[in-house]
Structure 1
Amino acid sequence: MDPSSNKKLYHKHGLDSRTLLETYYSAAPDMTFKEDGLTFPIEKLHNALSKGHMTGKLLIDISGGPLVHHLYSACEFFQEIIVLRANEKCITEIQKWQKDRTGAFSWEHVAKHVTDLEGKSDECEAKEMKLKSAITHVVNFDTETESLTDLIGVPQADCIISHGFMDMVCKDQDDYMRNLRKILKLLKPGGHLILFGGINLSYFTVGEQKFHAFSYDETFASNALLAEGLTILQCEVTPRKSKSHLTDYDGVFFISACKQK
């Protein structure tokens, strides 16, 4: 990262988690990033899980920000979900939602979308409750920790989802590979990894603050997974639909891969 850029680091400087959610993930009719930030990951994950190849007891979610929208489909296929975040304010935001505290951000628009996809549009409230119950731990961690396995003390996962984490915390290609290897240590042989990220994203804005993002594309991400011995099952990209100066990505991608036994 260019030290002269004055961009903040999400996991070191903190951010206003509520402003991030309201800017990029809200239910507002004119929310600029709806198609890229909500519709794309929700529908891709629903389609991938519906095939029945990815299921099991434990899912670990290592994503950026206080995001949970990508987990609404996952709670139908995994008994337990452990959420890892590298930012304390984002941990608080998620726990406020999970425990139904006053002022919690509402993800009802996502529950509605997912239940519509599942053909269960009358089960929106039940979906909300099921996801909250499936999340057993919300854990803060230091990205400098060498072994995440030692940190959280859990068995390896059947599946790991990472949405935006690599974009927000990695400084360069070497740092990306280091973080990827840490994540893969948490995945059991034969388990699945699902990645969502921005294409050529170099910054995102939350309120008045500009944050660093590692700029890469789906080709780099796919090659990184192949280099670590994973098999790519699916890779899809979509061009950017939003028009905004708040961030500079060219598109978004979805990759699913399997860790070889």
Structure 2
Amino acid sequence: MDSSPHKLYHVHGFDSRQFLEHYFSDKSDMALGDDTLKFVIENLRQVFSVGHINGDILIDLSLGSFVHHLYSACEFFKNIIVLKVNNRCIMELKRWVDERTGAFYWGHTSALLQEKEENSDQFQDQEAKLRSAIQHVVKYDPEKENMTEPLVLPLADCVITASLLDAISKDQDDYIRYLRKFSRLLKPGGHLIIIGTLGTTYFTVGKDKFHVFTIDEDFVRKVLAGEGFIIDYCNVKERTLVNDIIDYKAVISIAAHKEK
């Protein structure tokens, strides 16, 4: 039995809107923006701009309902399939995809992407492009052999997982087990992108603290190598601002491809 006093994201769930407001909003007091917004957008833009990660299908398995990590991806993939573990996050994401009243505002994040482009005109409607690319939002259970049972998903050219593996893993064995399941969604030679935090033990949503399995860069590299991945890109940014809603030490963006 887990002795941690913290809740587990995939077991207990959280208020998806509070999560977005805490970590991804455009509020002036949102102190984590350099790490949760800028770092993610700039690194994925760099990863995809090389041009060798592309194809028909991208599958995203990420924490909560954030979308900004997919802005660059929608330029290189025709179809994006998003998997979520609970109905709250599905509803939050669909509210944005369908442009419903009350959807979370992401305009400040698409503006961050435009700042880095020489020709920003092509990104003026980046949110619309991403909405169009997100073909399906599917509920899944990470404990099932076929996580989307009874649906069988087509294999993907790329899988992105952001801030999720360490949130649902209680220990090293869990991390490897879930990574293995996620990688089974890939075609031979497919690419895996992991975005996450290092040295974290918890994150907070509202009054609740949620468990995070503590990892470092060496651990992620060793696990990927053990699962047959070759690392193509890795960038780590040390945390510069202190905020007690989460205790991470650094953020990481790492891209790898599966040996055929």
Which of the five TM-score ranges fits, normalised by the shorter chain? Answer: over 0.9
Amino acid of the structure 2 residue aligned with 1:260 = E
Give structure 1 stretches of 5+ with no counterpart. none
**Equivalent residue number for residue 174 of structure 2:** 175
Secondary structure, in 3 states, of the residue corresponding to 2:243? coil
Structure 2, unpaired ranges of 5+: none
Contact map agreement 1:230 1:257 (CA 8 A) in 2: yes
CA displacement at 1:121 relative to structure 2: 3.1
- What SS does the aligned partner of 2:125 have? helix
- Stretch moving more, 26-35 or 112-121: 112-121
State how far apart, in whole Å, the 2-side matches of 1:2 and 1:142 are. Answer: 19
- Percent identity between matched residues is 49
1:42-96 deviation digits (Å, cap 9, x = unpaired) = 1000011001111111000011111111001110010000001112211111000
Equivalent residue letter for 2:103? A
Does 2:3 correspond to 1:10? no
Q: What is aligned with 1:26? A: 25
SS, match of residue 197 in structure 1: strand
Pairwise mapping of residues 201-240 of structure 1 onto structure 2 (< 5 A)? Answer: 201-240=200-239
Q: In 1, Cα distance between the equivalents of 2:2 and 2:241?
A: 26
Match of 1:131 in 2: 130
Trace 1:61-210 onto structure 2 (pairs within 5 A).
61-148=60-147, 151-210=150-209
Consecutive aligned runs of 4 or more in structure 1 exceeding 4 Å deviation:
none
When the two chains are superposed, the root-mean-square deviation of aligned CA atoms in Å is 1.4
Q: Which amino acid aligns with 1:41?
A: V
Aligned partners of 1:144, 1:70: CA distance in 2, in Å? Answer: 25
Alignment TM-score, normalising by the size of structure 2: 0.96
The aligned counterpart of 1:258 is 257
Equivalent AA in structure 2 for residue 33 of structure 1? L
| 8 Å Cα contact 1:166-1:179 kept in structure 2 | yes
- How many Å separate the matches in 2 of 1:151 and 1:253? 34
Distance (Å, rounded) in 1 between the aligned partners of 2:217 and 2:119: 33
Question: What's the TM-score once normalised by structure 1's chain length?
Answer: 0.95
Q: Which moved more, 1:76-85 or 1:115-124?
A: 115-124
Whether the aligned pair in 2 keeps the contact of 1:80 and 1:136 (CA below 8 Å) is yes
Distance 1:86 1:190 in 2: 26
